[in-house]
């Protein structure tokens, strides 16, 4: 990942309502959510949500796909993984004693990433 891409993604997440949208979409998983459901869940006006989703989409962290009259938004898990790898790629100079707590915390927060690499 290029530094410019990482900065765009971190910048997109550096705002309270965009971070809330992103976290909600992560919880929704690959099924995603329609914009109306996101707005209702977060009590955000539709025009504000549209602007937030646009910023998240431009950064590559969220994708939208039209289904009939609705757009279903999903978190881009590949992009999320790329950002995490970018942030951690030079982690700890290979020192397992420093890396282990990070992997343990990440594994308990989500998927079992310890078994992936």
pLDDT in tens, 4-37: 999 999 999 999 999 999 999 999 999 999 999 9
Residue 13 is predicted with a pLDDT of 96
Instruction: Note every long-range contact of 33-42, with CB atoms under 8 Å and residues 24 or more positions apart, other chains counting.
Output: 33/72, 33/73, 33/74, 34/67, 34/70, 34/71, 34/72, 34/73, 35/64, 35/70, 35/71, 35/73, 36/70, 38/73, 42/17
- Length of the chain equals 117
Residue 116 is predicted with a pLDDT of 38
- Model confidence pTM above 0.85: no
Helices (H) and strands (E) in the chain — how many of each? Answer: 6, 3
- List the strands of the sheet with 33-34, edge to edge: 33-34, 70-75, 62-67
User: Which residues in the chain land under pLDDT 70?
Assistant: 94, 102-103, 105-117
Residue 108 is predicted with a pLDDT of 58
Pick the CATH number of 1-117 from 2.60.120.430, 2.102.10.10, 1.10.3720.10, 1.10.10.10: 1.10.10.10
Residue 48 is predicted with a pLDDT of 92
Residue 64 is predicted with a pLDDT of 96
Residue 112 is predicted with a pLDDT of 41
Residue 97 is predicted with a pLDDT of 77
């Amino acid at each position: 990942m290029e530094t410019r891409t990482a900065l765009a993604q971190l910048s997109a997440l550096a705002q309270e309502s965009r971070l809330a949208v992103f976290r909600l979409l992560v919880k929704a998983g690959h099924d995603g959510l329609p914009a109306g459901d996101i707005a209702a869940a977060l009590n955000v006006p539709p025009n504000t949500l549209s602007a937030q989703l646009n910023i998240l989409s431009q950064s590559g962290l969220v994708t939208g796909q039209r289904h009939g009259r609705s757009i279903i938004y999903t978190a881009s898990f590949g992009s999320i993984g790329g950002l995490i790898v970018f942030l951690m790629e030079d982690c700890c100079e290979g020192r397992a004693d420093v890396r282990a707590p990070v992997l343990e915390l990440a594994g308990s927060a989500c998927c079992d990433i310890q078994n992936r690499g």
